[in-house]
Amino acid sequence: MRKLAAVFALMASPALATGLQIEVAGEGANGVITVDLLEDLAPKHVARIAELAEAGSYDGVVFHRVIEGFMAQTGDVEFGKMGGDMRRAGMGGSSKPDLKAEFTDTPFERGVIGMARSQNPDSANSQFFIMFEPGYFLNGQYTVVGRVTEGMDVVDAIKRGAGGNGAVIGQPDMMKTVTVTE
């Protein structure tokens, strides 16, 4: 009976977002990235991203960690807003609680989007990253939330960081606006 009630609750809940349009602006990248959100793989993480995007929380957030040949990380809605103290970018999240991992066997290919986290597997919150190249060592250890369907040229143009941690020096590129699509 509980399972049946859970099914009806899911059917009655509003539809999850199916994608994002991310308008990127900066010294490196300028254009739109279209994302297919994979709610079937990570429903709680996708719901969080959609909630933050709908609230405008991602608007003006920088790509604070960008590593050549690996990935571009963004989504720190607490400390990563353009015009803020960029020394703290990447250390924050949202006011929402961290999420329990939703790991799958989906491989981290070029264009795949994963949730950033600390060493604790259940610490993803608002930050996410977009893969420049395959990163199979992440498989099964990070939550896959989506994939880029258009605009990989924009992703490829995001201003790169320096050093091993990929911290962006000077003015980083940002997500000017993030819009949920259905």
- 112 to each of 1, 9, 148, how far by Cα in Å? 37, 30, 6
| Out of 22-26, 85-89, 98-102, 116-120, least confident range | 85-89
Residue range 17-181 in CATH 2.40.100.10: yes
Domain ranges of the chain: 17-181
Torsional class of 62: left (φ above 0), alpha (ψ -120 to 50), beta (otherwise): beta
- Total-model pTM: 0.90
Mean of the per-residue pLDDT values for the chain? Answer: 90
Instruction: List the structure tokens of 7.
Output: 């099914």
Residue-wise pLDDT tens digits, 123-159: 999 999 999 999 999 999 999 999 999 999 999 999 9
Q: What is the pLDDT of residue 170?
A: 87
Give CA–CA dist 143/113, Å, rounded: 9
